[in-house]
Chain A
């Protein structure tokens, strides 16, 4: 009986899949980092200054208590996150070296100002 030749992955697909697998494999599972809460109320961040430990990844739970959306934005932290009114968003920052990292509310930049102090 003549058997058909085996199915072989075309070289292009094999390369593509290898890249995808390598990329996925390079993402390790992370332990749950400590959580810090920030509220947005009346277009203000509460607290406006938050201290977190140096060289530690932390989870920021940003609760928007206003009915309107707000955007947590910080060039220094490389984060932009829109939080709908009445919703909570999760941001992960760090590990960061000691210093001060300002952030602001994109939709209310004159009032919504804050900073992370890393010690």
Chain B
């Protein structure tokens, strides 16, 4: 009975949280070991289209082993404030070949106008479906950003749920913080903190944008995050290339 009650409680909690947060929908990484990954900003542009390639490489001498996760995505805005992106997610565990593990649909909404309030807000939703096993994840992430002169602080706070016969069904939370210095469009040094299940990591990053012509830009990001506890990977390396057109 306790197990049934716990299950009922969990369902009620999930339902209440989902309702309370409204349409919120997303999360950072595939659960059962959150990953260091890109920090999202809460802004959406009409007519925005992009192709994106992301890499997260983990080195872990203690628990999870080394490995890489690649994401290849195509996204475009569907309204003045809404943006959707579809990803192929591929893994390359140490010593093995790259294989497509999952499909992911991500949506972002810009909730407030930039500069209108003390902070700018957006919401991101994510649904991830495993390709070769019964595992799904559905999550919401609140995106917040604030500027202080040349410094910009960004927060991603996520709440997700994963389920399926081949995964431990559970609720997960995640947090990513980024503080960036707007030195120039081509170079913005940053410091990032990432937290999630079995993850507490801190490290530097650099962000930049290269203009390629009218309406065409290449955004790039690179970062290192060092594990702050025994459960976290020793070091995570992340990279992102985004071609906007």
Contact = CB atoms under 8 A, between A and B. Distances in A.
Contact of A5 (B5, B20, B21): B5
B101 interface: no
Nearest to B150: A78
B173 interface: yes
- The CB with the most chain A CB atoms within 10 A, among B80, B115, B117, B121, is that of B115
A13 B171 contact: yes
B185 interface: yes
A12 interface: yes
A3 B10 CA distance: 17
A79 B157 contact: no
Contact of B147 (A12, A27, A78, A84): A78
B157 A20 contact: yes
A88 B1 CA distance: 59
B45 A20 contact: no
B46 A75 contact: no
B92 interface: no
Interface in A1-60: 4-5, 7-10, 12-13, 15-17, 19-20, 23-24, 26-30, 57
Contact of B214 (A8, A13, A81, A106): A106
Contacts of A102: none
A80 interface: yes
Nearest to A90: B113
Interface residues of A, number: 39
B158 A82 contact: no
A82 B13 contact: no
Contacts of B184: 75
A5 B2 contact: yes
Given A23-B157, A26-B119, A107-B214, A17 B48 contact: no
A27 to B, nearest CB: 5
A18 B13 CA distance: 14
A79 B119 CA distance: 14
A65 to B, nearest CB: 17
A23 to B, nearest CB: 5
Interface of A: 4-5, 7-10, 12-13, 15-17, 19-20, 23-24, 26-30, 57, 69, 71, 75, 78-82, 84, 90-94, 106-109
Top 7 A-B residue pairs of the complex, sorted by shortest distance between their CB atoms:
A92-B115, A16-B173, A7-B9, A12-B173, A4-B5, A82-B45, A19-B157
9 contacts: A5-B2, A7-B13, A23-B157, A27-B117, A30-B118, A57-B115, A91-B115, A92-B116, A108-B214
